[in-house]
Amino acid sequence: MSKTIPVHRNQYIDVTFEDLTHDGAGVAKVDGFPIFVPGGLPGEKANIKVIKISKGYGFGRMEELLQRSTFRVEVTETEAHKYGGCQLQHLSYEGQLEYKENQVRQVLTRIGKLENVKVHPVLGMDNPWHYRNKAQVPVGERDGKLISGFFKPRSHEIVDTNESLIQLPEVNEAIQTVKEICSELGIKAYNEETHKGVLRHIVARFGKQTGELMVVLVTRTSDIPHKSKLVQEIADRLPNVKSIVHNINSKKTNVIFGRETSVLWGNEVIYDSIGGVKFAISALSFYQVNPVQTKVLYDKALEYAELTGQESVIDAYCGIGTISLFLAQKAKNVFGVEVVPEAIEDAKRNAELNGITNAEFAVGEAEKVIPKWYKDGNKADVLVVDPPRKGCDEALLRTILEMKPAKVVYVSCNPATLARDLRILEDGGYKTLEVQPVDMFPQTTHCEAVAKIELR
């Protein structure tokens, strides 16, 4: 017999929150039945209204907070605060770090069955606000004026905002200035429903170490009205701007960028550096959005690799070569592989930019290229993986187990897939020595981690 759901829609009920979901909602349980309530924190008691019920869980709305967490902090509940990507801003930073450490520890135990692995306290930021070096904001229209900001959850309604609490001030300023100029010149926003209008997104990228700014205008049309005046105004009003780029996306799609990109003014790239390594960043380059914590993360990866200058290192999922070039300073040689051809071009250019000659890069899927290297006799002493959220491909994990590098350093942006992959490596003869979580995205639920793994 199926179990009866113990609550019903529109019911008011007192609950205690036990945990947080991956998007920061409080988790309460009524006779084992989970109810997700935005704004609840572990340990708090509240009166909630049940607003929706599915087969295995429900959703609630906070009516009254009956007992507060010592980690709760007051926030200004404007729409910008509410929907600006800061799911955990009502949790003190100390509380956020504790939550993320527990999150990593729990998934290692539950998914990875790794009971005795040392999980260090999370490495956090001195100032956990205004850290993102890139923004890509949708543009719309309201009352004849341009608006820009972010979408309300599960909708395409734009919340107009002048500031994001997690973007660098220079990025916030660039977005607002470009929006104002476009509004003054009467440039129309793209309309998703009619597929008419011009301006779809404004993108700003900022080099924190160099102070260089890039502005990217994403439009539906190949022509931009008043283009020369627009470019001149951006260059005049944003003194840090070194590159103004035009990207055309004429398709009916949620994808931000189209395939055609051209430079309207200035350089094709801006530059930034992390830990003394310089990077050229183009409009479409992948580059870590929190440069301060990226250095912390990569320093830890380098420490775990324990390089003496004699090692051959393979960097799977190498991107534009950020970790590869860090490692190359201490390794005999580094081989990076990445599926995106443009990223590999960037990686080669970045190696040249830094005078690094002991790093080579190949285009392809890591799970196909690395087995081929292995067959050709390229056996790594250390293998570094930094996969997307879905974790490592099975074929790559099989190759690691065949190749048997003495050390594996796993850089993860998703603790759940990290735990799953560590279990596979453990079953294949490896031992996870320690895991260091790093807070790359304060005020959000995301947590990165670096794992140190050795052949038994």
Question: In the CATH hierarchy, which top-level class contains the domain 98-126+290-455?
Answer: alpha beta
Active site residue 413: yes
Cβ burial, residue 187 (10 Å; 0-12/13-18/19+)? buried
pLDDT tens sequence across 334-370: 999 999 998 999 999 999 999 999 999 999 999 899 9
Counting every residue written for the chain, the total comes to 456
pLDDT tens sequence across 151-171: 887 778 898 888 888 999 999
For the chain, the structural domain boundaries read 12-69, 98-126+290-455, 134-274
pLDDT of residue 78: 63
User: Given this chain, do its domains 12-69 and 134-274 carry the same CATH topology?
Assistant: yes
Residue 213 · residue 170 · CB < 8 Å: yes
Closest CA to 358 of 321, 386, 317: 321
Q: Which residues of 218-250 are buried (b: 16+ CB within 10 A; e: fewer)?
A: bbbbeebeeeeebbebbbeebeebbbbbbbbbe
Choosing from 318, 392, 413, 447, which is the catalytic residue? 413
Mind giving me the DSSP string for 331-359? SSEEEEEES-HHHHHHHHHHHHHTT--SE
Give the number of C-alpha atoms closer than 13 A to the C-alpha of residue 190, restricted to the C-beta side.
25
Q: Report residue 428 as tokens.
A: 């294949």
pTM score: 0.91
pLDDT of residue 83: 64
CA separation for the pair 219, 192 (Å, rounded): 12
Q: Mean pLDDT of successive 10-residue segments in the chain (456 residues)?
A: 80 96 91 95 96 94 96 76 77 96 95 96 97 96 90 83 92 97 96 94 97 98 97 98 98 94 97 94 92 96 97 95 95 95 93 97 93 88 95 93 96 97 98 98 95 97
pLDDT of residue 1: 36
Dihedral (CA of 160, 441, 69, 42) sign: positive
Name the CATH topology of 12-69. OB fold (Dihydrolipoamide Acetyltransferase, E2P) (2.40.50)
As a CATH number, domain 134-274 is: 2.40.50.1070
